[in-house]
Amino acid sequence: MPSLHSRQRLRLHRSYPLPLLHLLHALQPMPMLSTLLILLALVFSSFAQAAVPHESATPAYAEEQTILQSEKDVPEPGFGSAKSGRNHFDRHFIVPPGFMPEQDVILQRGGNTWRNLRNGPIASIAGTILLVVPLLIFGFYRAVGPASQSRGDGGGGGQIQRFTSWDRIVHWATAITFIILAVSGLIVMFGKKILLPWMGHSVFYWIALLSKYLHNFVGPLFIVCSVLMFFTFLSRNVFRRWDWQWIKRGGGLIKHEHIPAGFFNAGEKVWFWGGVTLLGLLMSITGLMLNFPYFKNIGANIGLTRYLLQMADYLHIIGATLYIAAAMGHIYIGTWGTPGAYHAMRYGTVDEEWAHSHHELWYNELRDRHAGAPSHDPLPPGAPTHPRI
């Protein structure tokens, strides 16, 4: 067993560099001076270790601090630069595959910032919104109830066509792909915190893997469906002067009023332009960026850098949260909130009285197109689907 003196020498060799050890051995006859030097060495070593606090480091923080120290005199590119990080391995020995820029960037400081923001405040705010919105919808339903079904003066109650087969195919294709993306995206975003603890790693592995591939492959299909939906319903979603009255009176939802509306009311038009169009465009662009980061560069400094992908991820999460929340309202209005609306999109027809109650201007336009029919008789069978109102 080593003697006490040997163990002390071993600890010294482990704690201090060799030149300092030679100096301490030379100063052994002068205990006061050697003690002072040891204290100074401890103080300066604590300063050096404080620059990289490994014990309290968040993921990747220590490595980022190391890069920061080695490049402290080199200015950061900043937000105006196309580069999101610096090169950290020699491209002469390792050739990056594919076309993705910055494949020679091993460590990027912004990655930890993105991780902390995405998994911290952004995830918390998104989760809170997606929990609160259905509760608000349920509270509204319990307090106000569904829209009144009819006024009783809409005619004889015959069935008229509202949506063509093409309208319904496009709508349901878009709706189904949206739901697949919403569910799979929520699993990717929150599954590790919510599903993994109670279902275990083996089951969650397959659910997460399936969600990832569903999200990646269904995403482009959703974009195609959204484009078809935009052009299919565009002419019926142009804002008209009477839409302002519908907006000012809140669609009559609270007071159970019937506000005259065209083929689509102002609320449906807001959903079309704000949800299907604007949020759909945001989700499509950011989704393609994240789904295909290996797009070939076009010219110098044009490519999907890590910085751009991180910004795309922020916007994708924010857009998805707003889109899902708005879709909850759309689903409510189209089902329990407005009895008869789901039947129209499911089967393509509506009761004439329902059409007169909820879309009076559209109904009147249909009647004007069939001026030969008595004013209080049902519309003739096979009446046109819709005027472009």
Q: How many domains does the chain have?
A: 1
pLDDT digits (tens), the chain, 389 positions? 555 444 444 444 444 444 445 544 554 545 554 555 454 444 434 333 333 333 444 545 555 566 556 656 665 555 445 555 555 444 444 455 555 666 666 666 667 778 888 999 999 999 999 999 999 999 999 998 887 665 543 445 688 899 999 999 999 999 999 999 999 999 999 999 999 999 999 999 999 999 999 999 999 999 999 999 999 999 999 999 888 988 888 888 887 788 888 999 999 999 999 999 999 999 999 999 898 876 655 544 456 777 788 889 999 999 999 999 999 999 999 999 888 899 999 999 998 888 888 898 999 888 887 665 554 444 544 455 554 44
User: Residue 161: beta bridge partners?
Assistant: 349
CATH number at residue 358: 1.20.950.20
Q: Where in the sequence is the domain holding 310, given as residue range(s)?
A: 144-162+234-369
pTM value is 0.72
Indicate whether 137 belongs to any domain: no
Indicate whether 154 belongs to any domain: yes
Residues 265, 238 contacting (CB under 8 angstroms): no
Q: Which amino acid appears at position 181 of this protein? A: L
- 102 burial via Cβ count (<10 Å: 0-12, 13-18, 19+): buried
Indicate whether 39 belongs to any domain: no
Cα–Cα distance measured from residue 248 to residue 189, given in angstroms and rounded to the nearest whole number: 37
For 21, list phi and psi in degrees, rounded to 5. -65, -45
- Tokens standing for residue 33: 């001076």
Indicate whether 126 belongs to any domain: no
Indicate whether 243 belongs to any domain: yes
List CB contacts of 367: < 8 A, sequence separation 6 or more. 373, 375, 379
CA distances for 241 relative to 169, 245, 262, 265, 334, angstroms? 30, 8, 11, 12, 24
Residues 267, 246 contacting (CB under 8 angstroms): yes
Indicate whether 318 belongs to any domain: yes
- Tokens standing for residue 348: 């393509």
Indicate whether 8 belongs to any domain: no
Indicate whether 271 belongs to any domain: yes
